[in-house]
């Protein structure tokens, strides 16, 4: 039987239902420390931010803060989750390429540490809204086409995020001329699931090229290993690459900030499912009780993850099957040609490495409900996010008279 944090996969499903996102709390904390300590050893004046879009739930916001990791939010919703989780606003960084007046007002009201300014319209908004000095970074388009899926490239010349050099310099000059902007530096982020540490390091040089500032925030993007056959750079290799570059190009007393999301949380999370049906038609199918509603990336990015027969770990993996989800899309496939023991109804399947962007992108396709989330450790499981209910699904809508939405 597969155990997670000392809890058996089958017991977890029996206690909390299926599908279920399970996070190894010690793993999350250890990875946070690897980033915080690792960066501090190499560049003492540094700060690690959790790119919270990768796992935006209050238990994680709190854990990040407890581990000395500050918070990056994009938009009012993430800001409110972080505040409600008890995060200190003076350690919250506010991102977004289309921040509205309402969001900026909310960020200012909560006195977030830093706003990462994306464009001139945002500067106009802030010129109107600022009533006290506000620390800001300018988001630069570094013009790096990262070796990753086009959907998660963010730093190429055609990126929708930030401004190219000439405009970024004009933006800085305009803000510096205004008494309420405190322009402290530059931000770049070149994309996600990047395995090439040289490109991540190049981002440091590109940021440095904008000029001399107190702060350089070089984003996130470090890739993670999802399938057994893959290899990904370690956190230390990544930190070596960016701090070597920083030593060559940044002012010696500058602060270096990084914003890992995926690489902080992906591998501490597993999603458990139960088998609903097994059939042998054109192919051998094992269908489970979830799908792209809770793992959107299986159809979008097509990242190969490992699937494990959690309650049959010692059985011979003699079958070759496709593990498929229950949403009405043919791309709703968790694994093709997976080697598993002969699966039966009720067996538990673990979908590994699902800790990043799964909950983020979960949706109600086919009326699916967002799964619950538990943190496990030392043989104990605690619910941190409860399962969505059909009542909640129904309650959003207005119904014809005579069909009260009670």
Ligand X SMILES: *Cc1c(COP(=O)(O)O)cnc(C)c1O
Task: Enumerate the known binding-site residues.
Answer: 221, 259-262, 329, 357
CB closer to ligand X out of 75 and 377: 75
Residue whose token pair is 């409900």 = 369
Q: Write out the residues near ligand X by the rule CB under 6 A.
A: 51, 53-54, 72, 95, 189, 192, 219-222, 259-263
Nearest distance, CB of residue 345 and ligand X, angstroms: 36
- Annotation says 328 is catalytic: yes
The residues facing 116 across adjacent strands are: 137
Local structure of residue 388 (DSSP, 8 states)? P
State both tokens at 337. 């040609």
Local structure of residue 367 (DSSP, 8 states)? G
Count other Cβ atoms within 10 Å, centred on residue 401.
5
Nearest distance, CB of residue 194 and ligand X, angstroms: 7
Nearest distance, CB of residue 154 and ligand X, angstroms: 6
CB closer to ligand X out of 95 and 305: 95
DSSP H or E segment with residue 4: strand 3-4
State both tokens at 307. 């699937």
State both tokens at 118. 């994306």
CB closer to ligand X out of 259 and 347: 259
327-to-101, 193, 283, 294, 303 alpha-carbon distances in Å: 38, 26, 18, 10, 18
Exposed/middle/buried for 184, CB within 10 Å: 0-12, 13-18, 19+?
middle
Give, to the nearest 10 degrees, the angle between helix 76-84 and helix 101-109: 20
CB closer to ligand X out of 160 and 336: 160
Nearest distance, CB of residue 67 and ligand X, angstroms: 16
State both tokens at 289. 């009780």
Show binding-site residues for pyridoxal 5'-phosphate. 221, 259-262, 357
Catalytic one among 1, 328, 345, 395? 328
Active-site residue numbers? 328
């Amino acid at each position: 039987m597969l155990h997670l944090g000392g809890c058996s996969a089958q017991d977890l499903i029996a206690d909390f239902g299926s599908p279920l996102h399970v996070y190894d709390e010690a793993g999350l904390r250890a990875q946070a420390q690897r980033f915080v300590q690792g960066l501090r050893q190499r560049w003492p004046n540094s700060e690690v931010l959790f790119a919270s879009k990768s796992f935006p739930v209050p238990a994680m916001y709190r854990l990040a803060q407890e581990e000395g990791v500050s918070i990056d939010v994009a938009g009012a919703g993430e800001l409110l989750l972080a505040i409600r989780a008890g995060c200190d606003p003076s350690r919250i960084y506010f991102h977004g390429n289309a921040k509205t007046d309402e969001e900026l007002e909310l960020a200012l009201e909560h006195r977030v540490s830093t706003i990462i300014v994306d464009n001139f319209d945002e500067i106009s908004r802030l010129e109107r809204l600022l009533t006290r000095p506000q620390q800001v970074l300018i988001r630069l388009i570094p013009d790096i086409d990262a070796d990753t899926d086009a959907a998660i490239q963010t730093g190429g010349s055609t990126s929708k995020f930030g401004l190219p050099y000439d405009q970024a310099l004009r933006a800085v000059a305009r803000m510096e001329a205004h008494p309420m902007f405190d322009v402290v530096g530059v931000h770049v982020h070149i994309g996600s699931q990047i395995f090439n540490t040289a490109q991540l390091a190049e981002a440091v040089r590109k940021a440095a090229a904008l000029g001399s500032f107190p702060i350089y925030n070089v984003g996130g993007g470090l890739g993670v290993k999802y399938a057994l056959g893959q290899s990904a750079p370690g956190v230390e290799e990544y930190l070596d690459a960016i701090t070597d570059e920083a030593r060559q190009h940044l002012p010696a007393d500058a602060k270096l900030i990084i914003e890992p999301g995926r690489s902080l949380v992906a591998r501490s999370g597993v999603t458990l499912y139960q088998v609903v049906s097994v059939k042998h038609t054109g192919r051998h199918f094992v269908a489970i009780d979830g799908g792209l509603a809770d793992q959107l990336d299986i159809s979008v990015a097509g990242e190969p993850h490992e699937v494990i027969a959690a309650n049959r770990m010692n059985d011979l993996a003699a079958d070759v099957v496709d593990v498929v989800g229950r949403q009405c899309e043919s791309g709703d496939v968790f694994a093709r040609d997976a080697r598993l023991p002969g699966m039966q109804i009720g067996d538990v399947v673990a979908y590994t490495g699902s800790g990043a962007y799964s909950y983020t992108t979960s949706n109600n396709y086919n009326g699916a409900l967002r799964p619950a989330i538990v943190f496990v450790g030392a043989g104990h499981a605690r619910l941190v996010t409860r399962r969505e209910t059909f009542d909640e699904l129904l309650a959003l809508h207005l119904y014809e008279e005579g069909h009260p939405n009670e």
